[in-house]
Amino acid sequence: MVKDLPQDAEREGTRKLMMWGSAVAAILFVGFGLWFAAPQMFGVTDYVGRPSTGADNSAPATTVGTGVPTQRDAVSTAAKQDPAANEDSSGARARQIKESSQPANLSAQQREQLRSVLSTSQGPAMDRPNFEMMIGTSVPRQTETADLPPEVTQILNGFWGDQYLIAGKSLVIVDHHSRRVAAIIADVR
């Protein structure tokens, strides 16, 4: 610093330095805030993270919020034939549900029966689900589900005691104990 600088000039210089420093800090604060918030607002979460699909470390990249269905029409035979099985800490029930996935071979008559039953029931519906549309995917607890109507269990010959929701035009059956997607039946709405 200059020794001969008057005290007023020194104060003025310090004030200017503090003002510029505060302005830069405010700009950086707002910039970092937007850097993290803007992708969340527009549904882009590539670098921030993806919603968890539970214990599935080998699950493919999520399609949450993109409207792209990843599995269109499938049923888990483990969930269909043994709806009373409980989830354990090792995740065996989740693996059984995921590994026993097969196409849902429904006749046109069964689909029409499902449409008529679901049109009269007032179950929860959503346009874009907040989970992956794949057999075995974990459904968040905050996602509203309802008990599966008995008529649907009779038509599908299984899934007694499970829950459901309508995602777009698809019926999504959720395993009651593990909160995993047990079946996806397309075009029921």
129 pLDDT band, cuts 50/70/90, is: confident
Q: Using one digit for the tens of pLDDT, what is the confidence trace for 22-44? A: 999 999 999 888 887 776 666 55
Decide if domain 74-185 falls under CATH 3.10.450.
yes
Q: What is the pLDDT of residues 139-156, one digit of tens each?
A: 999 999 999 999 998 988
Statement: residue 128 has pLDDT above 50:
yes
State the DSSP string of 99-121: HTEEE----HHHHHHHHHHHHHS
pTM above 0.75, yes or no: no
Domain ranges of the chain: 1-49, 74-185
Q: Quote the pLDDT of residue 1.
A: 53
